[in-house]
Structure 1
Amino acid sequence: MTLTVGIIGAGRIGKIHVDNLRNIPNIRVKSVSDVAIVHLESWAREKQIEVLTTNYQDILNDPEIHAVFICSPTNTHTAIIKEAAAAGKHIFCEKPISFTVEETEEALAAVEKAGVKLQVGFNRRFDPNFRKIRQLVKDGDIGSPHILRITSRDPEPPGVEYIKSSGGMFMDMTIHDFDTARYIMNSEIVEVNAIGAVLVDKAFEDAGDIDTAIISLKFANGALGVIDNSRRAVYGYDQRLEIFGEKGAAQADNNRANTVEVSTAAHVSKGKPLYFFLERYTQAYIDEVKEFTNAILENQPISCTGFDGLQAQRIAEAAKKSLETGLPVQFKHVQQSAVI
């Protein structure tokens, strides 16, 4: 069987998905929609896209298309999810699903009613190093987990217009780390305590946001966690993770262009971390779309579900409330639906 796919939104991430999907056997990328297609025509021809349109509903109304990738701005996600579900299309949606828990719950209810599959684009779950650590935890190799430490720092801040529309640091950036924490620990987060500051760029303060944060976590299994975030690490894209438990610890270090370390009388040095998230998570982006398409073709469960997207949003909202009040925020564990 050939799986026919449509892409809604042809920005940076939409184009990455097109490239990765085209390298998977039995996948046909038929259509791409974007509100501005003037500069996409030569690209579409090069990628052998059959239909290029400004109207995403052309994709939803196409009976040949089995699945859609929603790569449009966040404020469009829930409306498109509902329409895609009603049209019987399987859905891959970039994070976050929306800016509010209520909107996301409505979208997930539509997915559940339609009985289609929904995968959320938390690509870090598919990073080979993080998956290895997750397996070590599941297999009990480090014993009962005690502390999870995540460092996540961007190489440079985004532009002012993006800052204004991002939903804030916790919803835009840290949401990846909240999902990673749940994934690695295989346990729900039950308490969040966040502190933050503007230390990088006043544009964040002008937008009512922060650019530097430390978030402490408590998990349902009793373990503790800490996430540190910055919007600017001058040395590159800093992505590290450590899990510590009763039997030992495991770390995932930064990816670098090479593993050469030079030692002389003057200094010891090694290469900087890869500079951008597309370089750091190249394999993760490939593996997440492979898993999504295989889940459809083989009728297998989705591993990164709408429920995972919803939980990460709940944690992001709790972190924002904690930042605003200066107090930890607790919330109850919520059971996952059998479908979403």
Structure 2
Amino acid sequence: MYQIIQDLKSGETILEEVPTPRVGAGKVLIKTQRSLVSLGTEKMLVNFGQANLLEKARQQPEKVKQVIDKMKTDGIKPTLEAVFRKLDTPLPLGYSQAGEVIAVGKGVTEFQVGDRVISNGNHAEVVAVPKNLVAKIPEGVSYDEASFTVVGAIGLQGIRLIKPTFGETVVVLGLGLIGIISAQILKANGCNVIGLDLDPDKVEKARSYGITAINSGQQDPVKFVEQKTNNVGADAVLITASTKSNAVIKQAANMSRKRGRIVLVGVVGLDIDRSDFYEKELSFQVSCSYGPGRYDEEYEQKGNDYPLPYVRWTEKRNFQSVLEAMKKGQLDVESLITERVPLKDYEQIYGDMDGSDSIASILEYPLNTEDSEEYTESAEKNNRTIKVNDVSFEGGTGTMAVIGAGNFTQAMIMPSLDNAGADVKYIVSSGGLSSTTLSKKYDVPNSTTDLGTVLADDQVEGVLITTRHNLHAGMTVQALKAGKQVFVEKPLALKQEELDEIIETVEETGNTITVGFNRRFSPHAEKMKKLLGQQPGPMNVIATMNAGHIPADVWVHDPEVGGGRIVGEACHYVDLITYLTGSKVTEVSMHAMGENPKENTDNASIHLKYENGSLGVINYFANGNKSYSKERVEVYHQGKNLIMDNFRKLYAYGFDNSFFSLSNKILSTKQDKGHAKQFELLTQCWQEGGEPLIPFDEIVNTTRATFAAIESLKQGKWISL
């Protein structure tokens, strides 16, 4: 299938061939008929992509600060690599789509194949969208009209925040697509609507709907509003404009009555003059996209609806309201359509967005012209695997497939495999775009959204699983049963029963598992191990992770999806201490800080007892400063010390000083957490054979230790493994 993307590095807008996405649990697979180009939003993204690096930095000063902070802790080169990698990741365009359901995922009951629906899907021939972001199109509403729904919901949510009442005067400041739709909705609500814009064509379009509108560049908008309201001022102002100027917010305040309401839907400068708001006691609020539920993982991704008696208008119910208004003739969007363009001719829209006077451009699917059969066939065949590079690939010992194409795969796995000379035949992703982008970059022959195709390919001997944590165990078992060697990013499993099934499957199949405990392969860890020896005897190890705060609603905290930060991240340090001590964990105790320490593992200390008498402490903290080193390991052993700072510097005390400088620093590198060495060894192992990189019993012991840490927190006592 084909999808429109924005290359943030080159600034090009591209029609990219990608695999058809997989439907997934809780999702709806939709064959697109129409999608609406939101010229305001998409123009901003296109212009950002076309800007040079300096201009990009000026547009996002908060990102520049993050880059500077990262340079302080991680170094200049790794930080710049991360920035350029981000710019290498294309951005899918579009978010207002209409089409026909062609498949439904597990747990979806309200939709069935053949339903006409809208969604916030991208400009793509087929989209997979969570069910709470999909709504049925009523009879009598065309696909053309329905494609306006999501954009209409943005305006509607702003109006709901205003809470207009019959007879009030509401000013709509900015008469672009969202502004004109909002003005119509307000008019239907019984409000006196005044529209303001600098574009005379948009002013005339608003007037055609019976809206009082003026060119705010030719008339004083504040005086005009005062005149129309008998010097009272507007009851409310809805800002739908897009400008960096602070003049808009000042203008909105000046034309408001005392205790008026201002809601921002667009993007404007927000250098607010306190006196403008103070004297009138004005209220100001920023509207969030389509409504309640937006960006809420529970609502959008897990499909858990808010109860209607308590949250009357969610984003989905806003979608339904807009569609109902179209059905009843209260909202006219058909007349807003400036042009209809087949998908293959997308450049007619994106070629010169700055010079365009279009209000609403519609992309048409399927492509019905004679020269576009290849596109139509791509959509009809529902092709989930595509050939990206015409590369000769014979397969052979060590041939790999990478399952998951997220940030970590982009940042570490693919560059490391490329440097190691690994033979990668497939990259798998759920949506198809990220796997296609990576396949192109690293000359991988195939991009796919179909795990079954990979596991059925006899040429593939090993798979690397880099998906979200909740998928690791199930995919590992699938791959092992398909006869594949497995590398799985940490954690191996989230629950004891998952771990038990993996152990049983390894015993049945004899295939190997490696878990991405990369720290033990760092040159710093290897140097420490060499100095300590293979059987060093009892020691004390303190590992401190200045992990940084992650908002509570991010998936890593969800015990069912991410497993929490101890199971999902602190496992690295259980493994590292196991490596340094040459022993396995026997008992675990964990304590956490906070009002509800049994659930808050962001600031916790884990105590470990080892078979050889060693003691380990893992301090996993999220309340430190970002400018301080993120990771630090201290070893106390037989009158000697080793101090490792952020995988950049290693200090030794009490060892043979003839080998070391007077500063006690024995190793200094760019930040090296062992990823490159890990994947070099993995590639070599799978190509040439040999023992797994990490003994399986150590992997199992580390996983059980993290489970025991959580259990210790719940029970308030030491837990034996």
- Whether the TM-score (by the shorter chain) exceeds 0.5 is yes
Residues in 1 aligned to 2:490 and 2:545: alpha-carbon distance in whole angstroms: 17
1:161 counterpart letter in structure 2:
V
* Residue in structure 2 matching 1:45, options 427, 440, 445: 440
Equivalent runs, 1:98-117 vs 2, <5 Å: 98-117=493-512
Equivalent runs, 1:316-331 vs 2, <5 Å: 316-331=706-721
The 3-state SS of whatever aligns with 1:23 is: helix
The residue that corresponds to 2:581 in the other structure is 185
TM-score by length of 2: 0.40
State the shift of 1:172 in Å: 1.4
User: Structure 2: 5+ residue runs without aligned partners?
Assistant: 1-395, 650-669
State the shift of 1:212 in Å: 0.4
1:288 counterpart letter in structure 2:
Q
Matched, 1:152 2:545: yes
* Residue in structure 2 matching 1:175, options 571, 580, 583: 571
The 3-state SS of whatever aligns with 1:301 is: coil
State the shift of 1:327 in Å: 1.5
Q: 1:43 to 1:291 in 2, by over 3 A?
A: closer
Residues in 2 aligned to 1:256 and 1:86: alpha-carbon distance in whole angstroms: 40
The 3-state SS of whatever aligns with 2:587 is: strand
The residue that corresponds to 2:704 in the other structure is 314
Q: 1:76 to 1:305 in 2, by over 3 A?
A: farther
Matched, 1:28 2:400: no
Residues in 2 aligned to 1:67 and 1:161: alpha-carbon distance in whole angstroms: 31
1:208 counterpart letter in structure 2:
E
Equivalent runs, 1:1-340 vs 2, <5 Å: 3-15=398-410, 16-25=412-421, 27-138=422-533, 144-157=537-550, 160-162=553-555, 163-164=557-558, 165-198=561-594, 208-234=599-625, 235-255=627-647, 280-281=671-672, 284-331=674-721
Q: 1:243 to 1:53 in 2, by over 3 A?
A: same
Percent identical: 26
1:19 counterpart letter in structure 2:
P
2:416 counterpart letter in structure 1:
N
1:100 counterpart letter in structure 2:
K
Residues in 2 aligned to 1:181 and 1:53: alpha-carbon distance in whole angstroms: 38
State the shift of 1:256 in Å: 5.1
The 3-state SS of whatever aligns with 2:399 is: strand
CA offsets 1:144-172 (integer angstroms, 9 cap, x no match): 43311111121442662322232123201
Q: Is the 8 A contact 1:4 1:66 kept in 2?
A: yes
User: Structure 1: 5+ residue runs without aligned partners?
Assistant: 200-204, 258-278, 332-340
Q: 1:144 to 1:118 in 2, by over 3 A?
A: closer
State the shift of 1:120 in Å: 0.7
State the shift of 1:236 in Å: 4.4
State the shift of 1:187 in Å: 1.2
How many positions carry a matched residue from both structures?
A: 302
Residues in 2 aligned to 1:8 and 1:50: alpha-carbon distance in whole angstroms: 14
State the shift of 1:119 in Å: 0.7
The residue that corresponds to 1:271 in the other structure is none
Q: 1:308 to 1:129 in 2, by over 3 A?
A: same
State the shift of 1:77 in Å: 1.8
State the shift of 1:178 in Å: 1.2
1:4 counterpart letter in structure 2:
T
- Compare 10-19 and 143-152 and name the one that shifted more: 143-152
Q: 1:154 to 1:95 in 2, by over 3 A?
A: same
- Compare 244-253 and 312-321 and name the one that shifted more: 244-253
Residues in 1 aligned to 2:552 and 2:599: alpha-carbon distance in whole angstroms: 15
Residues in 2 aligned to 1:139 and 1:62: alpha-carbon distance in whole angstroms: 40
2:520 counterpart letter in structure 1:
R
TM-score by length of 1: 0.81
The 3-state SS of whatever aligns with 1:3 is: coil
State the shift of 1:52 in Å: 0.7
Q: 1:326 to 1:299 in 2, by over 3 A?
A: same
Instruction: Considering Cα pairs closer than 8 Å and 6+ residues apart, tell me whether 1 or 2 has the greater RCO.
Output: 1
Which structure is larger by alpha-carbon Rg, 1 or 2?
2
Q: Is the 8 A contact 2:534 2:582 kept in 1?
A: no
Q: Is the 8 A contact 1:216 1:225 kept in 2?
A: yes
The residue that corresponds to 1:269 in the other structure is none
Residues in 1 aligned to 2:613 and 2:597: alpha-carbon distance in whole angstroms: 38
Q: Is the 8 A contact 1:120 1:306 kept in 2?
A: no
